[in-house]
């Protein structure tokens, strides 16, 4: 696909920004100024002030003497860059790749974007009209190279959509400054009578390099596309993004849902081809009034199921306030993981994490309550029960060990084990009664003991004798005695877990 670039230039960036805040000052001579060498110097002037002979760099006192009705507002060193960055971020609604071109410019890579607005002329017109509504005056040009678009936006008399046929002729009429040259090179070109690019662009590169240095040849090559030039994006382009511009602003929840569904069609199809699945996705809604609304979803397992992802977004559609309408939807897969399609079973004993329905149910729980914590645990090789499990990093992590099958283990472990008071008939017998938090539990059945030795290579201490006990109400508990009976000393007893 042929690359196309658009250059936006804002000749009155600072004064336009000021008159957005003070519309009453729009039709008067207006300048911004900064102190320099102990004197206030003008940094920007609007079109009316320039017609009166006021220009950037002029001393403010001299300008006011010449134009008494001049209005000044104080500037800050980084104000222009900040305004330009905000405009550049706004331009992402028209293309995913936008870069700042200081001072006063923005470069857009519009390759493959203009057809969404009906063509390049309609595309540029829409950008210009929306900027004018916001109070900014912009000159826009489109070309096959960044250098050509930059030159046309600043030095052509009108905004021109460059075509392959007339691009070369139009560039010939521009002054040498359009090549972004150092001042000394420009002055030397003028002294030699080269007042337009066309008078020297066809000269042998060796001759130009010998007389003006390598910079002039480099700029000409960039202008003609012989050397590639890149945009430094304001916001890095995400690798998995789908865009949906709307001819008519969307104002209803049903319209938003349909837009998300269409975006998911493209995103899921692309991820499926690359063997990827969504783990974290973000939907950005660009409103007519310039505000951007965002909602996010996350999944426990990589997913390319449009139905599942749409259900997660539907939980949050009610938080989107469309106001006057949404004119652009942007869906970004912020995080993706490898995803291998597999034959799904209605029931499997190999692990519930393979059940897609369960995974999607957990995602819905998380979507409804952002404070909900969902954890999965896998076994690890340790004798001590509290060390025999660890939290899994994901729902699909494979365990390196297996759960013990020869001895029962409770569903819930207490950490740390809680001390209890017991009544036991004789040593090495399970208790008949135990008291915990003031409540008395009468034991009806018991099984044990199961001795678990302390891991001597990690720490020293006494062993534990575990019992599985059941009270008169059918509730089962995991108790243990720490150590032996020694003389008149009774060992301590603890409650370590609950069975289902």
287 contacts 323 by C-beta, under 8 angstroms: yes
**ω into 449 cis (within 30 of 0):** yes
Q: What is the pLDDT of residue 385?
A: 83
Question: What is the arrangement of strands in the sheet containing 105-109, beginning at the earlier edge strand?
Answer: 98-101, 105-109, 5-9, 139-143
Region for residue 213 given its phi and psi (left: phi exceeds 0; alpha: psi -120 to 50; beta: otherwise): left
Contact 95, 109 (CB under 8 A): yes
Query: Of 244, 254, 337, 246, which Cα lies nearest the Cα of 283?
Result: 244
The pLDDT, as a whole number, for residue 348 is: 44
Q: For the chain, what is the total number of helices (H) and then of strands (E)?
A: 13, 19
* Residue from 319, 313, 316, 324 nearest 287 by CA: 324
Closest among 455, 450, 491 to 469, alpha carbons compared = 450
Own/partner long-range contacts of 379-385 (Cβ < 8 Å, ≥24 apart): 379/403, 379/404, 382/455, 383/452, 383/453, 383/454, 383/455, 384/452, 384/454, 384/455, 384/458, 385/409, 385/413, 385/452, 385/496, 385/497
What is the full DSSP assignment across 66-94? H-TT-EEEE--TTHHHHHHHHHHHHGGGT
Distances (CA, A) of 450 to 78, 110, 240, 280: 72, 72, 55, 45
The SS3 assignment for 295 reads strand
Question: What are the start-end ranges of the E strands in 251-325?
Answer: 276-287, 292-303
The alpha carbons of the chain give a radius of gyration, in whole angstroms, of: 36
CB 147 within 8 A of CB 13: no
pLDDT at 487: 62
Q: Which residue has the tokens 């030699």?
A: 192
The values of phi and psi at residue 275, to 5°, are 70, 35
CB-CB contact of 156 with 175 (8 Å): no
The dihedral over CA atoms of 470, 473, 474, 475, expressed in degrees to the nearest 10, equals -70
Quote the tokens at residue 44: 């920007």
Domains parsed from the chain with CATH numbers: 1-237 (3.30.70.270), 241-344 (3.30.1490.100), 412-498 (no CATH)
Residues 6+ apart with CB under 8 A from 484: 427, 462, 491
CA distance 336 to 279: 5
**CB-based contact 434:443 (threshold 8 Å):** yes
Q: What confidence score (pLDDT) does residue 344 get?
A: 45
Q: What are phi and psi of 429, to 5 degrees?
A: -105, 150
Instruction: Return per-residue pLDDT of the chain as tens, 500 residues.
Output: 678 898 999 998 888 888 888 888 888 899 899 888 888 899 899 889 998 888 888 899 888 888 888 888 988 888 889 999 999 888 888 888 889 988 889 999 888 888 878 888 888 888 998 898 888 989 998 888 899 889 888 888 776 666 655 666 778 888 999 898 888 999 989 998 899 888 888 888 888 888 888 999 999 898 888 888 888 888 776 678 888 888 788 999 999 999 999 999 989 988 888 888 889 999 999 888 878 899 999 888 888 888 899 999 998 898 999 888 898 888 999 888 887 665 444 334 444 556 677 777 777 877 777 777 777 777 887 878 887 877 777 766 777 777 666 777 887 888 889 999 988 877 677 888 999 988 999 999 898 888 888 887 888 888 899 999 999 988 999 999 988 776 666 788 999 999 86
Contact yes or no for 348/306 (Cβ under 8 A): no
* Residue 419 CA, distance from chain mean position: 49
What DSSP line would sit under 319-330, residue for residue? G---TT-EEEEE
Reply yes or no: is the peptide bond before residue 6 cis, omega within 30 of 0: no
- Token pair 């938080």 in the structure block, residue: 319
pTM of the model: 0.56
């Amino acid at each position: 696909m042929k690359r196309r670039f658009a250059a936006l230039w804002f000749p009155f960036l600072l004064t336009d920004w000021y008159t957005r805040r003070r519309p009453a000052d729009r039709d008067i001579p207006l300048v911004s100024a900064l102190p320099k060498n102990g004197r206030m110097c003008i940094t920007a002037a609007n079109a009316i002030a320039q017609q009166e002979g006021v220009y950037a760099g002029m001393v403010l006192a001299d300008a006011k003497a010449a134009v008494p009705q001049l209005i000044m507002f104080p500037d800050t060193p980084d104000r222009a860059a900040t305004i330009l960055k905000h405009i550049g971020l706004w331009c992402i609604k028209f293309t995913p790749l936008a870069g700042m071109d200081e001072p006063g410019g923005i470069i857009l890579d519009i390759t493959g974007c203009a057809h969404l607005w009906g063509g390049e002329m309609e595309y540029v017109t829409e950008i210009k009209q929306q900027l004018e509504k916001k109070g900014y005056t912009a000159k826009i040009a489109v070309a096959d190279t960044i250098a050509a678009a930059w030159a046309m936006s600043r030095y052509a008399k009108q905004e021109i959509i460059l075509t392959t046929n007339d691009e070369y002729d139009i560039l010939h009429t521009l002054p040498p400054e359009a090549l972004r040259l150092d001042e000394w090179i420009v002055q030397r070109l003028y002294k030699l009578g080269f007042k337009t690019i066309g008078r020297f662009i066809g000269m042998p590169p060796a001759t130009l390099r010998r007389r003006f240095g390598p910079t002039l040849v480099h700029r000409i090559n960039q202008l003609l596309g012989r050397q590639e030039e890149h945009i430094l994006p304001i916001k890095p382009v995400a690798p998995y993004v789908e865009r949906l511009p709307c001819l008519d602003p969307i104002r209803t929840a049903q319209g938003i849902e349909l837009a998300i569904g269409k975006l998911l069609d493209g995103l899921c199809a692309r991820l499926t081809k690359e063997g990827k699945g969504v783990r974290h996705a973000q939907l950005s809604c660009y409103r007519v009034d310039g505000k951007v609304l965002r909602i996010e979803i996350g999944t426990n397992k990589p997913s390319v199921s449009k139905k599942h992802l749409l259900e997660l977004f539907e939980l949050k559609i009610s938080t989107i306030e469309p106001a006057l309408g949404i004119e652009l939807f942007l869906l970004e897969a912020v995080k993706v993981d490898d995803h291998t399609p597999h034959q799904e079973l209605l029931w499997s004993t190999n692990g519930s994490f393979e059940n897609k329905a369960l995974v999607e149910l957990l995602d819905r729980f998380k979507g409804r309550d952002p404070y909900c914590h969902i954890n999965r645990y896998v076994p690890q090789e340790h004798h001590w029960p509290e060390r025999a499990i660890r939290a899994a990093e994901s729902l699909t992590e494979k365990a390196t060990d297996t759960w013990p099958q020869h001895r029962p283990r409770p569903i819930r472990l207490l950490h740390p084990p809680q001390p209890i008071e017991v009544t036991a008939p004789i040593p090495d017998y399970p208790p008949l009664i135990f008291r915990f938090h003031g409540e008395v539990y009468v034991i009806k059945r018991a099984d044990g003991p199961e001795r678990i030795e302390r891991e001597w290579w990690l720490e020293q201490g006494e062993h534990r004798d575990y019992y599985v006990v059941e009270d008169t109400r059918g509730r089962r508990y995991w108790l243990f005695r720490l150590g032996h009976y020694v003389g008149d000393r009774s060992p301590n007893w603890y409650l370590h877990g609950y069975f289902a």
